Amino acid sequence: MHQMIRPVHESTQVPAPRLLSRIVAGVWRMGDWQWTAQERLRWIEQCLELGVTSFDHADIYGGYTVEQLFGEALALAPSLRAQMQLVTKCGICLRMEDRPAHRVKHYDTSFEHIVSSVEQSLRLLRTEQLDMLLLHRPDALMDADVVGAAFTHLQLQGKVLHFGVSNFTPSQFTLLQSRFPLVTNQVELHPLHLSPLHDGTLDQCQQHRIQPMIWSPLAGGRLFTSDTPQAVRVRDALTAVAARHGVSASTMAFAWLLRHPSRPIPVAGSRRIDAMRDAVGALDVTIDAQDWTEIWAASTGHEVP
């Protein structure tokens, strides 16, 4: 009998369906913006108009205040909920006056904490369901069986659709992935912080066809404000490559991230819609390996070996 032999490059897996918009809006800093609920709603609407339909939260943002600020804005136009994806995180316990049980800042990845944190996020965000829940930080005391049970419980109850992690090393990711299917690892990556490119984090994402979410894609603004020699070199390179493509340096910073084959999803954190537009503009920019490496080399201070 003749047997079909599959070419080695023909994969049996298909890419996962898109769960989030290609650029996500991060709301970590929303508490600092000192906006009215109407102003917050306007920002949300403008993000949606740009196709930035996913919003990245955490229970602790703004000292446990941002989910409520966002939920209040959403309550002014509840029909918008159907057009957006809500991501939040849990697992970090901050020391706060109104949380006297937290004697020290610590991590809690117990079943009870994960479930009660999600229930609180749902109340504050005024929604019935989260699109994605991430464990915010790796916890040395994490029991993978317990986290897997909490995720399963929340999914069966319809409270959370998808689950992932943030700031996990590849081995921490592999451990939890052995108990529950994870859809992302949200990590820091920008030209001033290259380690996920080289420590196996993005290799693992490609291996599992999991899109990494990228926090602080502009290094929290330091790409444009820092005067360290490295930042100055990176800024000069970004500006030069951007000029060749006829775009802003900010757009080029996003295009540099999007060039990676793991298909990263940048989480942009600006209050300015123009800055969000810069991020979205990168979706139309394709840079080649030499452009990409020019920025990498500016960061490392040397050419590739």
Ligand X SMILES: NC(=O)c1ccc[n+]([C@@H]2O[C@H](COP(=O)([O-])OP(=O)(O)OC[C@H]3O[C@@H](n4cnc5c(N)ncnc54)[C@H](OP(=O)(O)O)[C@@H]3O)[C@@H](O)[C@H]2O)c1
Kindly list the residues in this chain that would bind ligand X in the complex (CB under 6 A).
26-29, 56, 166-167, 186, 215-221, 224-225, 250, 267-272, 275
Q: How far apart are CA 47 and CA 177, in angstroms?
A: 32
Indicate the pairing of strand 106-107 with strand 160-166. Answer: unpaired
Task: Please give the positions annotated as active site.
Answer: 61
User: Between 153 and 271, whose beta carbon lies closer to ligand X?
Assistant: 271
Q: How would you class 178 by CB atoms within 10 Å of its CB: exposed for 0-12, middle for 13-18, buried for 19 or more?
A: exposed
User: Between 117 and 216, whose beta carbon lies closer to ligand X?
Assistant: 216
Cβ-closest position to ligand X: 269
Other Cβ atoms closer than 10 A to 247: 19
Shortest reach from residue 5's CB to ligand X, in Å: 44
User: Between 216 and 299, whose beta carbon lies closer to ligand X?
Assistant: 216
Shortest reach from residue 64's CB to ligand X, in Å: 15
Shortest reach from residue 140's CB to ligand X, in Å: 17
Shortest reach from residue 31's CB to ligand X, in Å: 11
Shortest reach from residue 212's CB to ligand X, in Å: 11
Residue 127, CA distances (Å) to 78, 81, 87 in order:
9, 8, 12
Shortest CA distance to 44 belongs to which of 20, 24, 64? 24
Q: Provide the H-helix boundaries in the chain.
A: 37-49, 61-64, 66-75, 111-125, 144-156, 170-177, 195-198, 201-208, 222-225, 229-245, 249-258, 273-281, 289-300
Listed in order, strand segments (DSSP E) in 2-65 are 24-26, 54-56
User: Between 153 and 263, whose beta carbon lies closer to ligand X?
Assistant: 263
Maximum separation of any 2 CA atoms in the chain, in Å: 74
User: Between 109 and 166, whose beta carbon lies closer to ligand X?
Assistant: 166
| Cβ contacts of 102 within 8 Å, gap of 6 or more | 93, 94, 95, 96
